[in-house]
Amino acid sequence: MSLNISTSGILLEARRAYDVGDRVELEISFLGHPDRSTIIGTFGHVVRKRGGPTHDTAVQFEALGPFFQI
């Protein structure tokens, strides 16, 4: 689940722990309309993390990839 998102990165609750510097692949789904959603695929690097039960992880985007509407 995302906690905060911007054009340069995202802060999210990860299901597992990542290390700073890890390269990650993300699929972000935006529900802009009740009948369809937009999915953006991208890669990024973990720039900050906080341990604990939610594994809050900050990822800086490399570049946003193509988006798809479903």
Contact 57, 51 (CB under 8 A): no
> What domain range includes position 19?
2-69
What pTM does this model have? Answer: 0.78
Q: What's the whole-number average pLDDT of the chain? A: 85
Q: What is the pLDDT of residues 30-56, one digit of tens each?
A: 777 777 778 888 899 999 998 788 899
Contact 30, 38 (CB under 8 A): yes
Q: What is the pLDDT of residues 5-22, one digit of tens each?
A: 988 999 999 988 999 999
Q: What is the pLDDT of residue 12?
A: 93
Q: What is the pLDDT of residue 52?
A: 80
Q: State CA 30 to chain mean position distance.
A: 12
Q: What is the pLDDT of residue 34?
A: 72
Taken as a whole, the chain contains a residue count of 70
Q: How far apart are CA 1 and CA 54, in angstroms?
A: 10
Count of domains in the chain? 1
Q: How far apart are CA 69 and CA 62, in angstroms?
A: 22
